[in-house]
Amino acid sequence: MSPRAPEILVFDSGIGGLSIARCLHRQVPAARLTHLADNAGFPYGNQAEETVIERTVGLVTEQLRQRPVDVIVLACNTASTVALPALRAATDIPVVGVVPAIKPAAALSGNRRIGLLATPATVRRPYLEGLIGEFAGDCRIVRVGHPDLVTWIEEWARGRPMPEPALSVALQPFREAAVDTMVLGCTHYPLITGVLQRLLPDVRFWVDSGEAIARRTLHLLEVAGFDREEMQRYPGSGHRCLFSGPVMDDIDHFLDALGFVRE
């Protein structure tokens, strides 16, 4: 058993990775978490693939030079589908990526009507078709790629009101299709699950990738020699949130609620 606490680096273009960090803290409470947000490049969905690869690999490897970690979690759907191979080639540290939770959603859905709320980039990517074909071929998948929701959530975390009337309009295709299961296909979206549940009260199941990513991370830490019982017994501390660009102080209250300190 390793005598030290495991170190996990969570990377995202914005604060969405904090939803994954929340799941990691529940399943691996002893771990020390560093959340690195590339807010200078936010949002990744609007960037060229070459830019996403360059920024992801560059920022993560620079952080590793400053503070070694045991597992890297690429908590961004766009970066996972574009930059994951390049990042794995650049480091020997295990890297966990994120994909929309189509498989568990198909296992849960009763009426075989599943909603996917994601970014426009995620909705367009060919890998999504592969997931649907492999795991949900008998389901109707209703997709909404919202161009502004990640920005709304970033602003909401800073104390701005969520434009719920506009969000409700965007969610209308899910009501019309009577979906019983919703896939939150962006790591930002679980941060506002309560809002979404209020606007879509007839949805029975809400699915995201956070818990699966945390389970995978826990397994990789065990492979690295950390003891499962020790990792789940003692709560860690010193969780940090780093930003590639300037961040206003009004994010601190949101980070405090999740146990992170801005650095």
**CATH, residue 26:** 3.40.50.1860
94 and 217 co-located in one domain: yes
241 and 196 co-located in one domain: no
Preceding peptide of 68 cis, ω within 30°: no
H or E element, residue 169: helix 164-170
User: What per-residue confidence (pLDDT) applies to 255?
Assistant: 85
Could you say which of 23, 139, 186, 241 is catalytic?
Answer: 186
Does the pLDDT at position 1 exceed 60? no
**What's the whole-model pTM score?**
0.92
DSSP state of 251: G
User: What per-residue confidence (pLDDT) applies to 137?
Assistant: 95
DSSP state of 160: P
Residue 1 resides in a domain: no
Task: Please give the backbone phi and psi of residue 69, each rounded to the nearest 5 degrees, phi first.
Answer: -130, 170
215 and 193 co-located in one domain: no
107 and 165 co-located in one domain: yes
89 and 176 co-located in one domain: no
160 falls in which pLDDT band (50, 70, 90)? very high
d(CA 192, CA 178): 21
Residue 168 resides in a domain: yes
Could you say which of 23, 76, 139, 241 is catalytic?
Answer: 76
Residue 224 resides in a domain: yes
Structural domain of residue 90, as residue ranges? 7-98+210-262
144 and 191 co-located in one domain: yes
Residue 2 resides in a domain: no
Token pair listed for 132: 């649907």
d(CA 85, CA 90): 9
Strand partners, 243: 37
Q: How many domains does the chain have?
A: 2
160 and 75 co-located in one domain: no
193 and 214 co-located in one domain: no
Q: Annotated catalytic, 186?
A: yes
Are 114 and 181 in contact by the 8 Å Cβ rule? The answer is yes
CA R_g for the chain: 18
Which residue, chain included where needed, has tokens 């501390």? Answer: 237
Task: Please give the backbone phi and psi of residue 147, each rounded to the nearest 5 degrees, phi first.
Answer: -80, -15
Residue 22 resides in a domain: yes
Q: Which of 171, 187, 207 is the last residue of a domain?
A: 207
Q: Annotated catalytic, 76?
A: yes
d(CA 11, CA 32): 14
160 and 145 co-located in one domain: yes
216 and 139 co-located in one domain: no
Does the pLDDT at position 167 exceed 80? yes
d(CA 127, CA 218): 25
148 and 232 co-located in one domain: no
Residue 121 resides in a domain: yes
191 and 255 co-located in one domain: no
Token pair listed for 62: 């620079």
125 falls in which pLDDT band (50, 70, 90)? confident
